[in-house]
Amino acid sequence: MSVLHHLDTSLTSNASQVNRRQSLALLAAFCAGSVAAQEELDDLAKIRSKGMLKVAVYKDNAPFSSGHNSDMTGLDIALAQALAQKLQLKPTLLPFDAGENMNDDLRNMVWRGHYLGYGPADVMLHVPVDKYLSQQNRQVVIFAPYMRQIPVLLRDVKAMPQFSEPQDLKPFKLAAERGTGTAGALIGQNSGALSGQVVLFNSGMEAARAVFHGQVQAAYILQSQAEAAMAQNKRDPANYPITPMSLPGLPDNGWPIGMAVKTSFKDLGQALQAAMKELRESGELLAMFKERGMTLTAP
């Protein structure tokens, strides 16, 4: 048998193996694409077939979502119920503890699920609608802002009669919520000039109550927290004015808050967007805010 025949047989065999490998690779890619396309087309249909909308909400996040897991209250809880109703589904809450950062929360509760087997949900509420955050998390779509978080100073007018700028805070004892951007900005103000005066609390609501009880003279928290605390504690706004105050490190006009779904959940995203539009136009969203003494800030 000639060397040429051996070479021709070898080339034919190799070509056959390559063709089989290419065919298998193309078939696998086609199947994967078909599965992804089917998931994209059927996301809302699958959710409807189960009859429930799984909504991820933060634990210990008053006035938005707080209380025992089986009996949570707050604006985000009311919103979850209203959105599910618009989609003719039953709301199912997935309360979770905040992770190290928002990227962790989106991974655990929206697109992959927690390594302990918890989640993901169909939709997550209370997500900053931020371009940079979206770029970091291509696996999700962040949309439908329903309010704007604005940092404010809540003060006791008797203890602090005048306030116009951050320098006016120097003589006073101040409160902030532990681990938040507002606390970091207050402590870092003017190279840490106020750091020795800042007392940290577990929540913005607790920081507000510290003002009411005379433990501190003012609190740097979010407008939503300040307003809800005022309503719950039945305080007169004339005695406890709320003043927007922006510090270096925080957006001048606060930041919008919306929701997030997995990128492939396009039908669900569109349905939720439409539901949010209905809630806003009907006045139902405004009523949720008013019920809790909060202002519906334009996102």
Query: What is the signed CA dihedral for 41, 46, 49, 53, rounded to 10 degrees?
Result: -120
Please say whether the beta carbons of 139 and 110 come within 8 A: yes
Domains and CATH numbers, the chain: 47-144+263-291 (3.40.190.10), 151-244 (3.40.190.10)
pLDDT tens, the chain, 299 aa long: 433 333 344 434 444 444 555 555 555 554 544 444 444 458 999 999 999 999 999 999 999 999 998 899 999 999 999 999 999 999 999 999 999 999 999 999 999 999 888 899 999 999 999 999 999 999 999 999 999 999 999 999 999 999 999 999 999 999 999 999 999 999 999 999 999 999 999 999 999 999 999 999 999 999 999 999 999 999 999 999 999 999 999 998 999 999 999 999 999 999 999 999 999 999 999 999 999 999 999 89
Residue listed under structure tokens 């938040």: 180
DSSP annotation of 110: I
**What pLDDT does residue 133 have?**
97
3-state secondary structure of 201: strand
Which H or E element spans position 93? strand 90-96
- Distance separating alpha carbons of residues 219 and 243, to the nearest angstrom: 11
- Distance separating alpha carbons of residues 247 and 184, to the nearest angstrom: 10
Instruction: Calculate ∠ Cα 163-169-173, nearest 5°.
Output: 120
Please say whether the beta carbons of 71 and 59 come within 8 A: no
3-state secondary structure of 246: coil
**Taking the model in full, what pTM does it have?**
0.84
**What pLDDT does residue 285 have?**
98
Task: Indicate the residue type of 252.
Answer: D
Q: How far is CA 117 from CA 108, 109, 113, 121, in A?
A: 9, 11, 7, 12
**What pLDDT does residue 21 have?**
54
- Give the count of beta carbons closer than 10 Å to the beta carbon of residue 235: 19
Buried-state track 259-279, b at ≥16 Cβ within 10 A, e below 16? bbbbebbebbbebbbebbeeb
